[in-house]
């Protein structure tokens, strides 16, 4: 096929621009990215060859070559992996298929404007190949897909377009030649990428345990020897090529924990899982017995940007006797641990088993359960003993745990018991995070329920009329600030025999003597105002299920609560946002009988219960209560007109 020149997709171009204009200070990592791609490509060809023995032909020795060239100022990275055909080159290299790219660019630009670039961002978005443009003016890729005859040449100067054309290449695999920027080959360069020793150092540093040999030719000088093998004095040295393997290739997880340092683990996660920062927790376990396995897993320092999107793929790789079987295995761990990255190596996994069968295998399930238990135990231990670390974990991944609890209706209710002790919520006590256990331990004897409030932020909760009485009585309230929180709490139902109670739902029975008195008083007032209450309900019609005299309000005139049964107001809003408007809360309007407004309402009512004024008052009270809950009035113009009319009086 003829040579064609194509434009990069807009997002790719933007990303290239950022790369070239050095968004990332540590440019040397480009090599890790390219080697990592090469190693992935070899994994892939190996995997396919398991069921297609002809595929490899004579080329069975997997390897990656690095070829620096001082004359042409180039560095070539070459592999005998799976390679790509023309369509794949265009698909994989010409576009960034990842849906999060746009969001990524936004974040990147923002952080650039603020003057610092968050380097962790790049890795999260898997833009590894483009890192080549940080050190190269031009990138040339020649590749041949295993089993196919035609090769493809792709080239770009990172200037908005690239070319693709047919090429000649004998062996399968990919060869990427970087035409280096001057600063990476000139005399006295800080990092000379045409220098074999500089490259050797980079490989040692970043890619030592890549499981395929990374080879490079070194030119070594030797003193000639005489017939007896002794060096000839004063003879001119001879230059010789010597092919060396740069990496040790020992899979890190097979080593003993005691041999390994934090840095080893950190580099491993960066290399293997395209992480850009150290994991916040590492689990390195070996088990023998019922099932035999080694697991090396970690919790990434930050949650991936798309963790809660449907396109997120959990990242556990499986190995059998150190040979890669598959990546992104999603059936090993439960969904709520989807943020865990790492690998499991077990001789109990069969190499030739299909992906589908493996995912259903009993061994996989047994290993998964053991690992899950271990992770949860560590998290609980951290909550107890390493509070600061745990809170950092919670801020990144707490949502996963809460979703896990909510989803237990599908995954089995034992999940609730496994996870409930891991929960943390801000509370009205000093705005700090507390576990349910801590909350319950602090409860006064008379308190029978665990109280919670929902809103989008703390400030809104603190201003809720429903908070007044609880604050007055110094009762601690859990703050549920994420829509998923209330769903999780509703799923748990009770903790150590204490039920959960939303301060915006049902009656508020605080259980103490004083409250009982107040309750009686409220009932009295309700009785004497029975007609008024009924007529307010009539005016409001189906907007509310009930109108009540409130025992919980101190300084506010009204509030809206939901019935005990059925969803709360905030759940109703969440459902509506998910286009599920069927789930409606049963709204109860509570009126504060001690507020001046109540007196006024009564007098307007006595003057004429069918008057427009009374109707307007009822309507305004209801709309106020809605607004306090963060719900917009159905008819804002009508609301404003009624207020204007009242103000003009
Ligand atoms: P990522 O590796 O995170 O997917 P990259 O931009 O590094 O992102 O690479 C994009 C894609 O290009 C890879 O997923 C792979 O399909 C393909 N690719 C890159 N390098 C190679 C290579 N050496 N051999 C075969 N395919 C490659």
Pick the range with the lowest mean pLDDT from 168-177, 270-279, 465-474, 489-498. 270-279
Task: Assign 107 a pLDDT band (cuts: 50, 70, 90).
Answer: low
Q: Specify whether the CB–CB gap between 251 and 211 falls below 8 A.
A: yes
d(CA 592, CA 518): 13
Average pLDDT, the chain: 87
Query: Which fold, 513-648?
Result: 1.20.120
* Secondary structure element (H or E) that encloses residue 355, with its range: helix 355-359
Residue with tokens 């992935």: 40
Pick from 9, 31, 37, 65 the residue to mutate for probing ligand 1's pocket: most ligand atoms within 8 Å of its CB: 37
Q: Is 533 within 8 Å of 548 (Cβ atoms)?
A: yes
Q: Is 128 in the pocket of ligand 1 (CB under 6 A)?
A: yes
User: CB of 38 closer than 6 A to ligand 1?
Assistant: yes
Q: How close is the Cα of 173 to the center of ligand 1, in Å?
A: 12
- Give, for ligand 1, the residue of 32, 127, 129 to mutate: max count of ligand atoms closer than 8 Å to Cβ: 129
Q: Judge if the beta carbon of residue 193 lies within 6 A of ligand 1.
A: no
CATH fold group of domain 423-502 = Rossmann fold (3.40.50)
How many Å lie between the centroid of ligand 1 and the Cα of residue 508? 59
**Residues 299/373, Cβ–Cβ less than 8 Å:** no
DSSP 2: -
- List the structure tokens of 371: 């690992």
Share above pLDDT 70 across residues of the chain, in percent, rounded to a whole number: 92
Our answer on whether the CB atom of 81 is closer than 6 Å to any ligand 1 atom is yes
Nearest-angstrom CA–CA distance, 456 and 266: 36
β partners of residue 69: 74
Distance, CA 116 to ligand 1 centroid (Å)?
28
- The answer, yes or no, to whether any atom of ligand 1 lies below 6 A from the CB of 45, is no
Q: Provide the 3-class DSSP secondary structure of residue 221.
A: strand
Q: Is the shortest distance between the CB of 122 and ligand 1 below 6 Å?
A: no
Find which of 411-415, 424-428, 484-488 is predicted with most confidence, using mean pLDDT.
424-428
CA–CA distance from 591 to each of 73, 246, 458, 588, 610 (Å)? 81, 78, 24, 10, 20
Nearest CA residue ID for atom 17, ligand 1? 92
C-beta 41 within 6 A of ligand 1? yes
Quick one: tokens of 357? 């069968």
**Structure confidence at residue 205 (pLDDT):** 78
Cβ atoms 591, 546 nearer than 8 A: no
Residue 293: how many CB atoms within 10 A of its CB? 23
Q: Above 60 in pLDDT, residue 504? A: yes
Residue 442's pLDDT is what?
94
Distance 414 CA to ligand 1 centre (A): 40
Residue 387 confidence (pLDDT) above 70: yes
Same fold, 423-502 and 513-648: no
Ligand 1: residue whose CA is nearest its atom 11 = 92
- Which SS3 state, helix, strand or coil, does residue 286 take? strand
- Residue 74 CA, ligand 1 centroid: distance in Å: 20
Cα torsion angle, 402, 406, 407, 412, sign: positive
Distance from Cα 92 to the centre of ligand 1, integer Å: 6
In this prediction, residue 76 carries a pLDDT of: 98
Domain boundaries, the chain: 4-245, 252-387, 423-502, 513-648
3-class SS string, 436-504: HHHHHHHCCCCCCEEEEEECCCHHHHHHCCCHHHHHHCCCCEEEECCHHHHHHHHHHCEECCEEEEECC
4-245: in CATH 2.40.50.140: no
Q: Quick check: CB of 84 below 6 Å from ligand 1?
A: yes
Q: Picking from 101-115, 270-284, 569-583, 618-632, which range would have the lowest pLDDT averaged per residue?
A: 101-115
> Considering just the CA atoms, what is the radius of gyration of the chain in Å?
33
Q: What is the tens place of the pLDDT at every residue in 448-476?
A: 899 999 988 999 899 888 898 889 889 99
**Across 55-64, 114-123, 272-281, least confident range:** 114-123
pLDDT computed for residue 19 by the predictor = 67
Give yes or no for a contact between 232 and 223, defined as CB atoms under 8 angstroms apart: yes
Q: Is the CB of 146 under 6 A from ligand 1?
A: no
Ligand 1 neighbour 404 (Cβ under 6 A): no
Q: What token pair was written down for 612?
A: 């427009």
* CB of 139 shorter than 6 A to ligand 1: no
Q: Is the distance from the beta carbon of residue 64 to the nearest atom of ligand 1 less than 6 Å?
A: no
Instruction: Say if CB 76 and CB 176 are below 8 A apart.
Output: yes
Q: State residue 507 phi and psi, 5-degree precision.
A: -85, 160
Number of other CB atoms surrounding residue 289 within 10 Å: 5
CB atoms within 10 A of CB 54: 7
Angle between helices 10-20 and 101-113 (to 10 degrees): 40
Distance from the CA of 37 to the center of ligand 1, in angstroms?
Answer: 5
C-alpha to C-alpha distance for 503 and 524, rounded to whole angstroms: 23
The strand pair at 498-502 and 449-454 is best described as: parallel
Q: Please, which residues have CB within 8 angstroms of residue 559's CB and are 6 or more apart in sequence?
A: 464, 465, 466, 504, 550, 552, 553, 589, 590, 625, 628
Does the beta carbon of 76 lie inside 6 Å of ligand 1?
A: no
Question: In CATH, what is the architecture of 252-387?
Answer: 2-Layer Sandwich (3.30)
> What per-residue confidence (pLDDT) applies to 297?
96
Other residues' Cβ atoms within 10 Å of the Cβ of residue 399: 19
What are the angstrom distances between the C-alpha of 323 and each of 246, 339, 344, 483?
20, 23, 11, 43
Q: How far is the CA of 255 from the centre of ligand 1 (A)?
A: 29
Q: Is 92 in the pocket of ligand 1 (CB under 6 A)?
A: yes
- Answer whether 298 contacts ligand 1 (Cβ < 6 A): no
Rounded Cα distance between 310 and 143, Å, is 32
Q: What is the reported pLDDT for 95? A: 67
Structure-model confidence comparison of residues 539 and 321, the more confident one: 539
Contact assessment for residue 209 and residue 343, using Cβ atoms and an 8 Å cutoff: no
User: Going by CA atoms, what residue is nearest to atom 20 of ligand 1?
Assistant: 37
For 277, the enclosing helix (H) or strand (E) is none
Quote helix, strand, coil % in the chain, to nearest 5. 40, 20, 35
Q: Is the CB of 132 under 6 A from ligand 1?
A: no
Question: Nearest Cα to 323, choosing from 204, 245, 212?
Answer: 212
pLDDT, residue 246, reads 95
pLDDT attached to residue 99: 44
Ligand 1 center–CA 88 separation, angstroms = 10
pLDDT in tens, 199-220: 999 998 778 878 899 999 998 8
């Amino acid at each position: 096929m003829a040579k064609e020149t194509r434009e990069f997709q807009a997002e790719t171009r933007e990303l290239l621009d950022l790369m070239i204009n050095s968004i990332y200070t540590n440019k040397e990592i480009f090599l890790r990215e390219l080697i990592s791609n090469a190693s992935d490509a070899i994994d892939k060809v190996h995997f396919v060859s398991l069921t297609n023995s002809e595929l490899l032909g004579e080329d069975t020795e997997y390897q990656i070559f690095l070829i620096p060239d001082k004359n042409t100022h180039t560095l070539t990275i070459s592999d005998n992996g799976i390679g790509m055909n023309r369509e794949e080159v265009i698909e994989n290299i010409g576009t960034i298929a990842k849906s999060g790219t746009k969001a990524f660019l936004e974040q990147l630009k923002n952080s650039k404007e603020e003057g610092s670039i968050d380097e962790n961002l790049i890795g999260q978005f898997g833009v590894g190949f483009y890192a080549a443009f940080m050190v190269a003016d031009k990138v040339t890729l020649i590749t041949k897909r295993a089993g196919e005859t035609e090769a493809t040449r792709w080239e770009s100067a990172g200037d908005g377009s690239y070319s693709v054309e047919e090429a000649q290449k004998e062996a399968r695999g990919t060869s990427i030649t970087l035409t280096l920027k001057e600063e990476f080959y000139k005399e006295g360069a800080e990092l000379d990428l045409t220098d074999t020793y500089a490259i050797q150092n980079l490989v040692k540093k970043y890619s030592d345990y890549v499981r395929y040999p990374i080879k490079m030719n070194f030119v070594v000088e030797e003193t000639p020897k005489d017939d007896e093998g002794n060096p000839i004095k004063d003879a001119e040295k001879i230059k010789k090529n010597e092919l060396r393997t740069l990496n040790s290739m020992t899979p890190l997880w097979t080593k003993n924990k005691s041999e390994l340092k934090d840095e080893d683990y950190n580099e491993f996660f960066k290399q293997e899982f395209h992480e850009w920062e150290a994991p916040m927790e590492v689990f390195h376990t070996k088990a023998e017995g019922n099932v035999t396995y080694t697991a090396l897993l970690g919790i990434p320092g930050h949650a991936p940007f798309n963790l809660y999107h449907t396109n997120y793929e959990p990242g556990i790789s499986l190995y059998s006797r150190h040979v890669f079987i598959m990546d992104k295995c999603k059936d090993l761990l439960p969904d709520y641990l989807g943020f865990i990255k790492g690998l499991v190596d077990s001789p109990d996994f069969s190499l030739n088993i299909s992906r589908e069968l493996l995912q259903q295998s009993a061994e996989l399930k047994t290993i998964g359960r053991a690992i899950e238990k271990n992770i949860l135990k560590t998290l609980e231990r951290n909550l107890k003993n390493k509070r600061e670390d745990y809170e950092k974990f919670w801020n990144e991944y707490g949502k996963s745990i809460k979703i896990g609890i909510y989803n237990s209706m599908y995954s089995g209710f034992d999940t609730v018991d496994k996870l409930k002790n891991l929960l943390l919520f801000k509370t009205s006590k000093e705005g700090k995070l507390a576990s349910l256990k801590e909350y319950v331990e602090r409860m006064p004897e008379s308190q029978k329920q665990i109280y919670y409030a929902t809103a989008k932020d703390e400030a809104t909760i603190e201003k809720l009329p429903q908070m007044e009485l609880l604050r007055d009585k110094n009762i601690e309230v859990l703050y549920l600030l994420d829509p998923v929180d209330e769903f999780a709490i509703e799923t748990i139902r009770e903790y150590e025999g204490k039920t959960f109670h939303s301060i915006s739902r049902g009656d508020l029975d605080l259980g103490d003597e004083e409250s009982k008195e107040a309750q009686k008083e409220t009932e009295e007032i309700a009785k004497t105002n029975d007609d008024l209450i009924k007529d307010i309900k009539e005016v409001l019609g189906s907007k509310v299920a009930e109108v009540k005299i409130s025992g919980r309000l101190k300084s506010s005139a009204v509030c809206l609560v939901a019935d005990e049964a059925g969803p709360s107001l905030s759940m109703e809003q969440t459902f509506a946002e998910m286009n599920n408007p069927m789930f409606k809360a049963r709204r109860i309007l509570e009126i504060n009988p001690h507020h001046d407004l109540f007196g006024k309402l009564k007098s307007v009512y006595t003057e004429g219960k069918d008057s427009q004024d009374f109707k307007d008052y009822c309507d305004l009270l209801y709309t106020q209560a809605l607004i306090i809950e963060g719900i917009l009035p159905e008819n804002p113009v009508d609301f404003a007109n009624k207020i204007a009319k009242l103000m003009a009086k």
